[in-house]
Structure 1
Amino acid sequence: MRKQQRPPIPAVLEEHSEKWNKQWKQRKQENPSATFQWYQHQGRAARDWILADLREMTQGHCAFCDGFPLENTSGEPVEHFRPKSDERFFHLAYSWENLFYCCEACQKCKREQWDDDLLKPDAVDYEFETYFQFDFTTGAIEPNRFSTPDAQRRASVTIAMYGLDSEVRQRHRRLELRKWQKCGTDEDLNDFAYRDFLHAG
Structure 2
Amino acid sequence: MENWQWSKLMIKVKRTKIPKSLQVNEATWKSELLYQIKLKGEYSKVTSTYKERYKQDDIKEALEKMYSEKCCYCETIIGIASYEHIEHLRPKGLKQFHHLSFDWDNLHWSCQICNNKKRDQWNEQAPILDPCTDDPEQHIDFDLSTCKAVEKDGSERGKTTISHVDLNREKLVRARKRVKDRAMKYIVQIKKTESTLDDEFYKKELRNMLKGDPNTGDIAEYSMLIKKMVETYL
TM superposition score normalised by structure 2 = 0.74
- Percent of counterpart pairs with the same letter? 25
Do structure 1's residue 122 and structure 2's residue 122 form an aligned pair?
Answer: no
Q: Write the distance in 2 (CA, Å) between the matches of 1:155 and 1:163.
A: 12
- Residue 28 (structure 1) shift: 2.3
**RMSD between aligned alpha carbons?**
2.3
Amino acid in the other structure paired with 1:90: H
Query: What amino acid is the match of 2:150?
Result: N
* Match of residue 155 from structure 1: 158
Residues 39 and 155 of structure 1: CA distance in aligned 2, closer, same or farther (over 3 Å): same
Q: 1:134 aligns with which of 142, 157, 169?
A: 142
Cα distance, 1:179 vs structure 2: 4.1
Q: What are the within-5 Å matches in structure 2 for residues 42-53 of structure 1? A: 46-53=55-62
Code of the aligned partner of 1:159: I
User: Are 1:178 and 2:181 an aligned pair?
Assistant: yes
2:91 is matched with 83
Question: Is the alpha carbon distance of 1:38 and 1:62 closer, same or farther for their aligned partners in structure 2, counting shifts above 3 Å?
Answer: farther
Query: Which one has a bigger Cα radius of gyration?
Result: 2
In structure 1, what is the Cα distance between the partners aligned to 2:49 and 2:76? 24
Deviations 1:39-95 (A, max 9, x none): 69xxx9743221111011111110111111x11334342101111111111111111
Preserved contact between residue 131 and residue 152 of structure 1 (Cα < 8 Å): yes
Deviation at 1:104, TM superposition (A): 0.5
Q: Which residue of 1 aligns with 2:193?
A: none
Structure 1 residue 35: Cα displacement: 5.3
Report if the CA contact (8 A) 2:16-2:62 is conserved.
yes
Cα 1:169–1:96 shift into 2, 3 Å:
same
One-letter code aligned to 2:129 = L
Cα distance between partner residues in 2 of 1:45 and 1:119: 22
Give TM-score, length-normalised by structure 1: 0.85
The answer on 1:34 being equivalent to 2:62 is no
- Please show how residues 39-78 of structure 1 align to structure 2 within 5 Å: 46-68=55-77, 70-78=78-86
Whether the 8 Å CA contact 1:64–1:102 is kept in 2: the answer is yes
**Quick check: 1:4 aligned with 2:4?**
no
Matches of 1:12 and 1:39, distance apart in 2:
15
Aligned residues: 190
Alpha carbons of structure 1 residues 155 and 45: separation in structure 2 relative to 1, 3 Å: closer
Q: Is the 8 A contact 1:39 1:45 kept in 2?
A: no
**Residues of 2 paired with 1:61 and 1:200: CA distance?**
19
Q: Aligned partners of 2:48, 2:221: CA distance in 1, in Å?
A: 30
Structure-2 separation of matches of 1:35 and 1:173: 40
- 1:3-39 Cα offsets, whole Å, 9 max, x none, are 2110010111011011111212222232222356366
Match of 1:115, SS state, is: coil
Give, in whole Å, the separation in 2 of the partners of 1:58 and 1:46.
Answer: 17
Contact conserved, 2:55 with 2:86, CA < 8 A, in 1?
A: no
1:155 & 1:173 partners in 2: Cα distance?
18
Q: Report how far residue 130 of structure 1 moved.
A: 1.3
Letter in 1 for 2:105: E
